[in-house]
A and B are shown apart, each in its own frame.
Chain A
Amino acid sequence: MTKPMRDFTRGELEWRPWIAPLDLNSATQEQLVALKVTPSNRAVGAYSLVLAHDPEALSERSPLYNGIMFGAKGLPRAERELGAVTASRVNGCSYCASVHALRFVQLTKEPDVMERIQKDGVEADLEPRLKAIVDYSAKLTRDPTAITPADAAPLRAQGLGDLEILDLTHAVAMFAWANRLMQTLGEPATPAREGNPL
């Protein structure tokens, strides 16, 4: 049911909303707080302005997202990004995949990993630790009720402890969320300024 996957290795896409974003000039105080808009910072993207129609949910989701993707110690940030890319690839979200593939490459300096996933999908041939992470992420994304305690063994064999497995689970789950919001409330668009052929 998912749309064809775009090439997500060549930089970020733009996102075009399907419902009118909030007009900052008519925003309530609660919406401004949820968006963290201040007099000196009014640079808010269309995605956040759409989510600001429900400021209560946005106010909780933003710190939850940050805690999951940026919390100290535990699973290295790049491997959380790998979980995000895997979920996004399975869910067909080219916008999310492009953003997080870029973050993975920035953190690891290893574009080869993302190029392989672009080419061969989540079945791509990767080094054992990354492969174990991708396999778990794909299975958790596709069918959470199919996960059993046995699925921890390949991760533990690659050195992931309880906190690392929890971190990976959170990251993959966060993209079950993000992929649905992104693909439900709008669509990716090619930035015109770059003449990007994607």
Chain B
Amino acid sequence: MSDIDVMNTLAGIAPDSALAALRRQRPDVVKHLQGSDDVIFSPSDDGGLTRAERAAAALRIAELLRDGVLDAHYRARLTALDPSGTLAKTVTGEAQITEGRWDAILAHVDLVTRGPGSAERDDIEELLAVGLSSHAVVSLSQLISYVNFQSRVLAGLRLLKGGS
């Protein structure tokens, strides 16, 4: 486990600040929020959904949420994992998506981010049909849900930071 605290980094919270101390009043939240970030983006067993694909999916969500800080964060992570920039171009629409599996993944990211209740059984069937394992479908669902969670925590931390 790394010493980095991703939420403090994203919200611009210094480790010795009052807001960092406030967050430490919820030690389980600090620990397992970072822990979730670690296992969602750098799992020991990726279940067939690669780290680069995970970063790319997160970048897509950051774009949909129009959060510049999250966008830069996931773009940097994706660049490190996919220096060719191929996945990044498909996320931003600069390149045509020609692969059914990745197309289905991005479509699902968009669907669930925009409308949390929009998914139907057929959407999950589609992911399985293009070759995702049950593990990968659950991992993708956790990832989409986590980045949406993360954006709300970030908004609250910015609110607290601005008001102090």
Interface residues of A (CB under 8 A from B): 1-3, 18-20, 50-51, 53-54, 56-57, 59-61, 63-64, 66-68, 71, 74, 91-93, 140-141, 144-145, 147-149, 151-152, 156, 162-163, 165-170, 172-174, 176-181, 183-185, 187
Main secondary structure of the interface of B (DSSP, over half): helix
Q: How far is the CA of A93 from the CA of B7 in the complex (A)?
A: 27
B117 near A92 with CB under 8 A, answer yes
A93 near B117 with CB under 8 A, answer yes
Which listed residue (A53, A60, A67, A163) contacts B135, Cβ 8 A? A53
B84 at interface (Cβ–Cβ under 8 A)?
no
B125: chain A residues within 8 A (beta carbon): 18
A170 near B160 with CB under 8 A, answer no
B95: chain A residues within 8 A (beta carbon): none
B145 near A177 with CB under 8 A, answer yes
B164: chain A residues within 8 A (beta carbon): 162
B44: chain A residues within 8 A (beta carbon): 56
Which listed residue (A59, A64, A141, A144) contacts B29, Cβ 8 A? A64
Query: With A19-B124, A64-B29 as given contacts, are A151 and B152 in contact (CB-CB < 8 Å)?
Result: no
B32: chain A residues within 8 A (beta carbon): 60-61, 63-64, 67
Which listed residue (A1, A57, A141, A152) contacts B138, Cβ 8 A? A57
Query: With A144-B65, A148-B162 as given contacts, are A2 and B117 in contact (CB-CB < 8 Å)?
Result: yes
B22 near A176 with CB under 8 A, answer no
B39 near A51 with CB under 8 A, answer no
B159 near A185 with CB under 8 A, answer no
